């Protein structure tokens, strides 16, 4: 479906208010709290190769608690293993050929490139479907959610915090020896990056990065044993961003108790690109990428601590969700030895890295360690669990471990316009593109 852009900052919010009322009139507004709510935590790049040993050592108690009550195991992904295409499949139940998000960027001219936007997605995502059905939703940092869409709740897009690093010159220092990148299409004026726009200032509040959410210390802070010392500041930035997005999602949960809360944490993926050599033998790499034993031990320890940090964040959410709720923790792929990008030792290219993770528990979820589930099946599972119909144009199916009743499917959910705020430029594009170059995702 075509999207409707709501132009102008002040005018946009006036029009959006009316648009939201129209949106809510499409379905019955659910004034009463459903018998159960849904929590989806995306952990970009989380691998069972790291999780399983740490669980056996008792170092991931919150993931272990989910596994003890329900599902744990691999989540099948699809190639190429690029996060935007996979996370969009998670949120739509469709293959990339249908939803249209196949990469990070698109060409806009002979020498210009821009990031893909939410307006490049074809069809409805889970937050659109449930908003139109009258459910409240909270969406935080899900990929390809800028420009923000009008939802029945709060949407904090993946462009929300990136321009915070504009004033930091580490990118210039890191790339000082490289040739100038191709020009990026970007507007100088920043448009709203959240819906409602009032959540933009709230999301950037410093109380979200006080380092007080967990008792797991930043494993990168002053760690001189780690390989890639030029990137040490960036490792810590990833840690701080995960803490911020978790804190924002918890604030949304406390304020509106959404029927669906989705939050994506990307730090494990980002740091694994640089530190994965801690989990591989030296001979897996060429001479130029090999690190010494001290660096290897430090890289492994730092990544394991990052998994513990992420598990502690999961625990904060579990405090808000009880046995009546559906809890899902998923990743889009795993990791393997790879020499892509600047100083990389980890990647996700071959079948070795194809499987992500799925942990699930809640009413109707049968306990199993062999889930037989793909990334396309997440949206169908959530719809079925809520008692909503699947769409026949979805590629995903309801996993066999769900033992609830299914309702008659419908042909499609893509029959209404998706309304968005103005999205000509968030001001974050250039920083995000440099990060993607550094991670080896774009040339």
Question: How far apart are alpha carbons 204 and 160 in whole angstroms?
Answer: 8
Q: Are 152 and 136 in contact (CB under 8 A)?
A: yes
Q: What is the pLDDT of residue 95?
A: 97
Q: What is the pLDDT of residue 18?
A: 46
Instruction: Please report, to the nearest 10 degrees, the dihedral formed by the alpha carbons of residues 365, 367, 372, 375 taken in order.
Output: 50
Phi, psi (rounded to 5 degrees) for 336: -150, 170
Q: Which two tokens stand for residue 79?
A: 């190639």
Residues in the chain where the model's pLDDT stays below 50:
1-22, 24-34, 163-189, 426-427
Question: How far apart are alpha carbons 294 and 296 in whole angstroms?
Answer: 5
Question: How far apart are alpha carbons 148 and 193 in whole angstroms?
Answer: 6
Question: How far apart are alpha carbons 346 and 350 in whole angstroms?
Answer: 12
Q: Are 149 and 195 in contact (CB under 8 A)?
A: yes
Q: Which two tokens stand for residue 383?
A: 């719809």
Question: How far apart are alpha carbons 130 and 236 in whole angstroms?
Answer: 35
Radius of gyration of the chain from its Cα atoms, rounded to whole angstroms? 21
Question: How far apart are alpha carbons 127 and 1 in whole angstroms?
Answer: 15
Question: Which burial class, exposed, middle or buried, applies to 222 when counting CB atoms under 10 A from its CB (0-12, 13-18, 19+)?
Answer: exposed
Question: How far apart are alpha carbons 128 and 367 in whole angstroms?
Answer: 30
CATH 3.40.50.1000 fits 3-21+38-438, yes or no: no
Q: What is the pLDDT of residue 440?
A: 57
DSSP-derived 3-state class of residue 3: strand
Q: What is the pLDDT of residue 161?
A: 79
Question: How far apart are alpha carbons 413 and 100 in whole angstroms?
Answer: 16
Q: What is the pLDDT of residue 250?
A: 98
Q: Which two tokens stand for residue 76?
A: 């099948």
Q: What is the pTM of this model?
A: 0.86
Q: Count H helices and E strands in the chain, helices first.
A: 13, 14
């Amino acid at each position: 479906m075509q999207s409707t852009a709501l132009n102008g900052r002040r005018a946009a919010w006036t029009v959006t208010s009316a648009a939201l009322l129209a949106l809510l009139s499409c379905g019955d507004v659910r004034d009463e709290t459903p018998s159960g709510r849904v929590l989806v935590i995306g952990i970009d790049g989380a691998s069972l190769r790291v999780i399983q040993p740490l669980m056996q050592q008792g170092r991931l108690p919150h993931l272990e608690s989910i596994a003890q009550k329900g599902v744990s195991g691999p989540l099948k992904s699809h190639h190429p293993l690029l996060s935007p295409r996979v996370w969009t499949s998670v949120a739509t139940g469709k293959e990339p050929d249908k939803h249209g998000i196949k990469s990070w960027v698109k060409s806009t001219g002979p020498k210009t490139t821009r990031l893909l936007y939410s307006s490049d997605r074809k069809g409805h995502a889970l937050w659109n479907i449930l908003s139109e059905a009258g459910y409240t939703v909270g969406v935080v940092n899900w990929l390809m959610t800028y420009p923000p869409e009008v939802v029945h709740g709060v949407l904090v897009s993946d462009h929300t915090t990136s321009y915070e690093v504009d004033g930091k010159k580490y990118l210039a220092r890191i790339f000082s020896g490289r040739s100038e990148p191709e020009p990026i299409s970007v507007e100088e004026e920043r448009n709203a990056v959240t819906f409602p726009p009032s959540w933009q200032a709230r999301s950037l509040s410093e109380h979200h990065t006080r380092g007080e959410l967990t008792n797991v210390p930043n494993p990168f802070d002053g760690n001189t044993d780690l390989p890639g010392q030029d990137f040490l500041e960036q490792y810590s930035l990833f840690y701080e961003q995960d803490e911020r997005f978790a804190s924002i999602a918890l604030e949304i949960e406390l304020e509106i108790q959404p029927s669906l809360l989705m939050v994506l944490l990307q730090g494990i993926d980002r740091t694994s690109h640089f530190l994965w050599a801690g989990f591989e033998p030296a001979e897996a790499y060429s001479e130029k990428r090999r690190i010494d034993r001290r660096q290897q031990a430090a890289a492994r320890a730092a990544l394991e601590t990052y998994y513990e940090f992420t598990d502690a964040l999961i625990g904060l959410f579990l405090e808000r969700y009880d046995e009546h709720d559906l809890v899902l923790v998923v990743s889009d792929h795993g990791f393997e030895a790879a020499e892509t990008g600047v100083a990389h030792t980890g990647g996700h290219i071959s079948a070795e890295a194809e499987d992500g993770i799925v942990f699930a528990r809640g009413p109707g979820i049968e306990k199993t360690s062999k889930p037989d589930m793909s990334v396309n099946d997440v949206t169908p599972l959530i719809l079925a669990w809520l008692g909503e119909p699947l769409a026949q144009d979805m590629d995903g199916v309801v996993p066999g471990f769900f033992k609830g009743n299914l309702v008659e499917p419908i042909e499609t959910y893509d029959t209404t316009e998706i309304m968005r705020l103005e999205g000509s430029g968030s001001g974050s594009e250039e920083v995000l593109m440099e990060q993607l170059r550094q991670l080896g995702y774009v040339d």
